[in-house]
Structure 1
Amino acid sequence: MTARADQAGVDGARAGAGAGVDQALAELLRVLTPHTQADWSVKAGSLEWSCHETATHIAHDLLAYAGQLAGGAAAAYLPFDLAVAPGATPGEVLQVVTACGRLLSAAIAAADPSDRAWHWGPCDPAGFEAMGIAEILLHTYDVTQGLGIAWQPPDGLSRAVLDRLFPGAPSGGAPQVLLWSTGRAELPGRSRGTSWTWQAAVQG
């Protein structure tokens, strides 16, 4: 195999990396953009944050994940933060979310699958992708709850998050199980959780 052919194979293997973040981001924009004139100062579902604060948090975490992966942080989160102007409109906040989401998907696509960066242990690019998808889906749900929009996370993306971050999740419809796994919904025969964590670090 020639060097050029070998590189083409590597590039092809990475072609889908980050696509889940892009898909989740597109869904967020589809659902929330028509409601940017609403009152985003209301609480986001069961959270203590407002819808505006929750959307800002999405951007914050997406950028943090991108920084970890691109910088190869080995022992802690890099010492930088995202500051969104308090007076930013909901539409402007969604633009910031878009920028941070695209930075994360680009960092994932550029990474080698063997790369590791710190998130309470060594985490691979697929783990950062799953966390990015989860942040987008779960907090989009919170905002829709606050704004009175009927919406649930898409099935395929929810299943991808469960498979990577919640390997012990119970069976059932993926969106409802994801919401239950993060303390946001009930499941038949199971009490609603009050604390939870996901497993992003690579084991072994």
Structure 2
Amino acid sequence: MRAHDVEAVTDEMVRTLRGHADLDWSAPAGDLSWSCRDTAVHVADDLLVYAAQLAAEAENDYVSFDVAVPPDAGPDDILRVVDAGGALLASAVRTAHPGARGWHPNGVADPGGFAAMGVVEVLLHTHDIARGLGIGFSMPDDTCRTVLTRLFPDVPAEPGNAAATLLWATGRGPLDGREPVREWRWDSSVRS
């Protein structure tokens, strides 16, 4: 995955969710225990942390900082933080040298790995928030297939069904002929 993939999904998240501040952002985001608001803050946090991990080339642990959004920040304010986080991660991916590495509990990742993690966080949680708000959102099949290939190498994506496969692989939906997934992890390790 590359920087433009992070930018594209972040732009789509903001475009999909902006203008829905009148809906109940305190509602659960899909099947998550987090609210729609807290899930959006989580996305912003992940994007900023992934950018920091890659920029600092922190290979042994997380760079120590917290992303805080004021409690009175509304949905559009939070989406601005998501947008900024996506831009910073894209910039970190774009400017990192190919040998750059950063720590993640699911495997030390290279720039493409951090891009893929950012993309999957944005896609899945936009799906979750959209469900919680009762609005539509479709995940792009080609992007889902690329994410599956990079982070879920043991999960084959059927042609035309990569979005459903990604939802299944992360415990968010059924997939014909496969048992439900109860626990999951991606593998962000650098591929040789």
Whether these two folds match at TM > 0.5 is: yes
Deviation, structure 1 residue 90 = 0.3
Q: Is the contact between residue 22 and residue 102 of structure 1 (CA under 8 Å) also seen in structure 2?
A: yes
The residue type equivalent to 2:149 in the other structure is D
1:144 corresponds to: 130
1:52 and 1:102 map into 2 onto residues whose CA distance is 20
Give % identity: 47
Question: What SS is found at the alignment partner of 2:179?
Answer: coil
2:183 corresponds to: 195
TM-score under structure 1 length normalisation: 0.89
Deviations 1:29-73 (A, max 9, x none): 121113122110100000000000000000000011000000110
Deviations 1:120-140 (A, max 9, x none): 342100000000000000000
1:179 aligns with 2:167: yes
The residue type equivalent to 1:161 in the other structure is V
1:113 and 1:181 map into 2 onto residues whose CA distance is 28
2:113 corresponds to: 127
1:88 aligns with 2:73: yes
Deviations 1:2-32 (A, max 9, x none): xxxxxxxxxxxxxx94110000011101211
Q: Is the contact between residue 37 and residue 90 of structure 1 (CA under 8 Å) also seen in structure 2?
A: no
1:189 and 1:150 map into 2 onto residues whose CA distance is 26
| Higher RCO structure, 1 or 2 (CA under 8 Å, sep 6+) | 2
1:47 corresponds to: 32
The residue type equivalent to 2:28 in the other structure is K
Tell me which moved more, 40-49 or 117-126: 117-126
What pairs with 1:1-204 in structure 2 (closer than 5 Å)?
17-120=2-105, 121-172=107-158, 173-203=161-191
2:176 and 2:156 map into 1 onto residues whose CA distance is 11
Question: What SS is found at the alignment partner of 2:135?
Answer: coil
Higher radius of gyration, 1 or 2: 1
The residue type equivalent to 1:32 in the other structure is L
The residue type equivalent to 1:126 in the other structure is G
1:133 and 1:73 map into 2 onto residues whose CA distance is 20
Structure 1 runs not aligned, ≥5 long = 1-15
Question: What SS is found at the alignment partner of 2:18?
Answer: helix
Deviation, structure 1 residue 203 = 4.8
Displaced runs of 4 or more, over 2 A: none
1:13 corresponds to: none
Alignment coverage as a number of residue pairs: 189
Root-mean-square deviation over aligned CA pairs: 1.3
